[in-house]
Amino acid sequence: MRANCSSSSACAANSSEEELPVGPEVHGNLELVFTVVSAVMMGLLMFSLGCSVEFRKLWAHIRRPWGIAVGLLCQFGLMPLTAYLLAISFSLKPAQAIAVLVMGCCPGGTVSNIFTFWVEGDMDLSITMTTCSTLAALGMMPLCLYLYTLPWNLEQNLAIPYQNIGITLVCLTIPVAFGIYVNYRWPKQSKIILKIGAIVGGVLLLVVAVAGVVLAKGSWNSDITLLTISFIFPLIGHVAGFLLALLTHQSWPRCRTIALETGAQNIQMCVTMLQLSFTAKQLVQMLSFPLAYGLFQLLDGFLIVAAYKMYKRRLKNEHRKKDTSSAEGYHKKKSTSFKETGAFLEVNEEVGITPGPSVPMDLCTALEPTSHISSCT
């Protein structure tokens, strides 16, 4: 085409027309690379977190799934209801309300497993809850979306990303299964892998957050209402999950685990479902919400981890002070007992050395008449 140009302006116009598709193509390639790299890194991360799981405890959760039942109730009971109430309370437009509802009906994300490890939660329950909620999403997502989207009378049907759900299950279960096997066969090496995985997980979360913002910069809008909902929605999920776990008499590690699992949603599944169900014009009003939710979800998680670490450090300092004061009290008591024992021994020695009246004289005094006392002496 450039060879047939008769003027420089025409060539410039034609060249610009040729270069227009290059931008989206490069953007698409970058997004593909980012998706593949993040999937591989997430698989390695789940493998390292699987090294903290014991098959015996995992089987105990499956045999007595009380904690799993509470988590599923939070995931597909509290979160969709909260999304519906937020959409009604803020009088959202139909497109925006659907975006909030889709987010509320999504299963838990793998980011909750990382935060659960950092707050010393129940890792066996965390991974089991993530797997079970993703599996239950095959039926619960269509049901919840059908029930809660009735007031908006959608013209198009929502496409459930079954392929994405299947890929998530595979990327979750296979690395975790390998991690459980490594923990069973080589427990010492699994601890090293777990420490490395925790560091890599933190770096991965930061990279995913920054890259997600850069790649989706064209999808942001300045809707304050959606930003407000995306800020308070995960907080409500964390608090509601913790309170429900507390009311059902779960242990403290389980309460922390259920709280983090409830507020942390699968952002990628929400974005995929919106892209499959709506046009590009409609997505302009929708995509900013899951992106903002993902960022605030990470921010809330880091704040919860920081608060827990500060709480643990404060408890450790208090225990250290108590141990120091008890040790000082023990030494004082011990020195006092030594002094009392020494004084007691000195008194006994003085009593043993001091002479007393002889037995014959006492007998003479008691038995003889007074007139014969002198003879006895």
Considering 38-52, 138-152, 164-178, 266-280, the range whose residues carry the highest mean pLDDT is 138-152
Query: Who has greater pLDDT, 30 or 74?
Result: 74
C-alpha closest to that of 274 among 323, 201, 327, 219: 219
Task: Give the pLDDT confidence score for residue 50 in this predicted structure.
Answer: 87
Q: Report yes or no on 185 lying in a domain.
A: yes
Q: Report yes or no on 332 lying in a domain.
A: no
Q: Report yes or no on 24 lying in a domain.
A: no
Task: Give the pLDDT confidence score for residue 59 in this predicted structure.
Answer: 86
Task: Give the pLDDT confidence score for residue 366 in this predicted structure.
Answer: 42
Query: Who has greater pLDDT, 317 or 198?
Result: 317
Of the listed ranges 80-84, 153-157, 285-289, the least confidently predicted one is 153-157
Domain tally for the chain?
1
Q: Report yes or no on 291 lying in a domain.
A: yes
Crossing angle (nearest 10°) for helices 123-148 and 162-185:
170
Q: Report yes or no on 369 lying in a domain.
A: no
Tell me the average pLDDT across 200-206: 78
Task: Give the pLDDT confidence score for residue 286 in this predicted structure.
Answer: 84
C-alpha closest to that of 211 among 295, 280, 118, 289: 295
At 2-52, the pLDDT tens digits run 444 444 433 433 333 333 333 444 445 555 666 666 677 778 888 888 888
Q: Is the dihedral of CA 200, 203, 209, 210 positive or negative?
A: negative
What CATH number has the domain bearing residue 167?
Answer: 1.20.1530.20
Query: Who has greater pLDDT, 350 or 141?
Result: 141
Task: Give the pLDDT confidence score for residue 58 in this predicted structure.
Answer: 84
Give whole-number Cα distances, 148 to 92, 141, 152, in Å. Answer: 14, 11, 9
pLDDT of 179 strictly over 60: yes
Q: Report yes or no on 328 lying in a domain.
A: no
Report the 3 state secondary structure along the chain.
CHHHCCCHHHHHHHHHHHHCCHHHHHHHHHHHHHHHHHHHHHHHHHHHHHCCCCHHHHHHHHHCCHHHHHHHHHHHHHHHHHHHHHHHHCCCCHHHHHHHHHHHHCCECCHHHHHHHHCCCCHHHHHHHHHHHHHHHHHHHHHHHHHHCHHHCCCCCCCCCHHHHHHHHHHHHHHHHHHHHHHHHCHHHHHHHHHHHHHHHHHHHHHHHHHHHHHCHHHCCCCHHHHHHHHHHHHHHHHHHHHHHHHCCCCHHHHHHHHHHHHCECHHHHHHHHHHHCCHHHHHHHCHHHHHHHHHHHHHHHHHHHHHHHHHHHHHHHHHHHHHHHHHHHHHHHHHHHHHHHHHHHHHHHHHHCCCCCHHHHHHHHHCCHHHHHHHC
Q: Report yes or no on 126 lying in a domain.
A: yes
At 338-373, the pLDDT tens digits run 555 555 555 555 555 445 444 444 444 444 444 444
Mean of the per-residue pLDDT values for the chain? 78
Crossing angle (nearest 10°) for helices 224-247 and 288-353:
40
Task: Give the pLDDT confidence score for residue 22 in this predicted structure.
Answer: 39
Domain of 166, in residue numbers: 37-212+223-298
Count other C-beta atoms under 10 Å from residue 33's C-beta.
11
At 27-38, the pLDDT tens digits run 455 556 666 666
Q: Report yes or no on 364 lying in a domain.
A: no
2 and 15 in contact (C-beta within 8 Å)?
Answer: yes
pLDDT of 72 strictly over 90: yes
Tell me the average pLDDT across 99-113: 91
Task: Give the pLDDT confidence score for residue 217 in this predicted structure.
Answer: 62
Distance separating the N- and C-terminal Cα atoms of the chain: 151
